[in-house]
Amino acid sequence: MPGIVDVPGVEVFGKGTGEYTLPCGYVDPQGVVHKTVLLRELTGEEEDMMDDDDVGVTERMSRVLASCCEKLGTVTDKETILKAIQDDVDSGLPITSTDRIAMMIFLRRTSVGDVYKFSRRCPVCNHMNANKALDLRTIEITSVPTERASKRRVQVTLPRSKRKAIMRVLTAKHEAKLTGLRPQQKDLKSLSILARVEAIETEVADPENEGKTKLVMKQLTDPRVGLGVIKALPGADRNYMRQVFNAMEADVDTVVEVACDSRSCGAEFKFPLDMGQAFFLNPAEDVSVEALNWL
């Protein structure tokens, strides 16, 4: 991270290298929690990975993070790091989806710098707000205590339907299943709940009582079937489930707040930070044509 030596929460080892703390972390087979990551800057190899349309978005993200991660806690074996990032561990627990988002922000800071420049059109007056900047160090990251890093499943009773459900902390494997559905905007709220529901009591025919049903805990293995189950839940149950996973998980606040700089408007609006390829292409300093050494 050239030119920056006093960044809160990061120890600078040299140009384009930094050590950060994850909000949850990887739990190895012995139960040891690994929360620190040593990252090196992005290279052309990783930039091309991000643009590989033959690979799903979740897998792309996993490959880039694993490639740039030199150390995860005390773990240096690249295969183990990749498995921990993409949730392919044989034992222990992988890093969470929140950890992955935090790592992407850390990687951007390491590779390009803390200042993220952007332009955004106001949804109220259509004015283009240009040359805006976000200091990535100010993004709020809420961590879970180390002693709770290995506790990632809870059983709850939903307040309206009284059904029991098992909820889990989100990881890459759950993300990948849902992105395969090619989700539409109208389904996103339901999908955010579905991704975190491992099983839920469902009405099935009772073989011992003809014409009657009973509640049976069923795994939501088919995302399409599961989406219908989540959509059918009462609003009170859905709100409660959101509160549960917000309490279970760490959090990275990636919502960017903007005040329109048009004198006749001044409206405040928000948008989610896009951590795709463009996130890493925005330079901390603009290049001046006049400053180039023309030949």
**124, 260 contact by CB (below 8 A):** yes
Q: What distances in angstroms separate CA 64 from CA 39, 58, 75, 195, 253, one per listed residue?
A: 11, 10, 17, 23, 21
pLDDT at 7: 45
Decide the pairing of beta strands 251-252 and 213-219: unpaired
**What was the pLDDT predicted at 187?**
85
Order of strands, sheet of 11-14, starting from the edge strand that comes earlier in the sequence: 11-14, 17-27, 33-40, 69-72
* Distance separating alpha carbons of residues 176 and 156, to the nearest angstrom: 25
Domain check: are 41 and 124 in the same one?
A: yes
pLDDT at 142 over 50: yes
Q: Which of 18-27, 30-39, 173-182, 248-257 has the lowest mean pLDDT?
A: 173-182
pLDDT at 204: 81
Q: Does the pLDDT value for residue 10 go beyond 80?
A: no
Please say if the pLDDT value at position 152 is more than 80: yes
Residue in 217, 224, 238, 147 with CA at minimum distance from that of residue 183: 224
Higher-confidence position of 209 and 183: 209
Mean pLDDT computed over 5-18: 54
pLDDT score of 4: 39
pLDDT at 3 (0 to 100): 35
Does 235 share its domain with 114?
A: no
Domain housing 227:
146-249
CATH number (domain holding residue 213): 3.30.2220
Task: Examine the pLDDT at 185 and tell me if it is beyond 90.
Answer: no
Least confident of 111-125, 192-206, 274-288: 274-288
| Average pLDDT of the segment spanning 60-65 | 94
What pLDDT score does 6 carry? 43
Measure the CA–CA gap between 56 and 180, rounded to whole angstroms. 8
Rounded to whole angstroms, how far apart are CA atoms 262 and 259?
A: 9
284 against 67, higher pLDDT:
67
Do 174 and 121 belong to one domain? no
Shared domain check, 196 and 227 = yes
Inform me whether the pLDDT recorded for 48 exceeds 60.
Answer: yes
Closest CA to 65 of 116, 31, 22, 27: 22
The pTM of the full predicted model, rounded to 2 decimals, is 0.87
Residue 153 lies in a domain: yes
Average pLDDT in the 137-145 region? 95
Amino acid letter at 214? K
Same domain, 20 and 166: no
Q: What is the pLDDT of residues 214-258, one digit of tens each?
A: 888 999 988 888 999 999 999 999 999 999 999 999 999 999 999
Quote the mean pLDDT of the chain.
89
Cα distance between residue 112 and residue 145, in whole Å: 30
Nearest-5° angle of CA 267, CA 273, CA 279? Answer: 125
**From the CB of residue 120, how many other CB atoms can be counted at a distance below 10 Å?**
16
Q: In the prediction, which pLDDT does 290 show?
A: 87
Tell whether 100 and 204 lie within a shared domain: no
**Is the pLDDT higher at 185 or at 25?**
25
Indicate the length of the chain as a whole number: 295
- The model's confidence at residue 282, banded by pLDDT at 50, 70 and 90, is low
Q: Does the pLDDT at position 11 exceed 60? A: no
Q: What tens digit of pLDDT does each residue of 71-124 get?
A: 999 999 999 999 999 999 999 999 999 999 999 999 999 998 888 888 999 999
Residues 133 and 170 in one domain: no
- Is 66 in the same domain as 45? yes
Answer yes or no: is pLDDT of 5 > 50: no
Is the domain of 51 the same as that of 95? yes
Res 97: pLDDT: 96
Residue 285 in domain: no
Distance CA 250, CA 137 (A): 17
Split into its structural domains, the chain has a count of 2
Share of residues in the chain with pLDDT > 70 (%)? 93
Over residues 5-16, the mean pLDDT reads 48
Same domain as 131, residue 27: yes
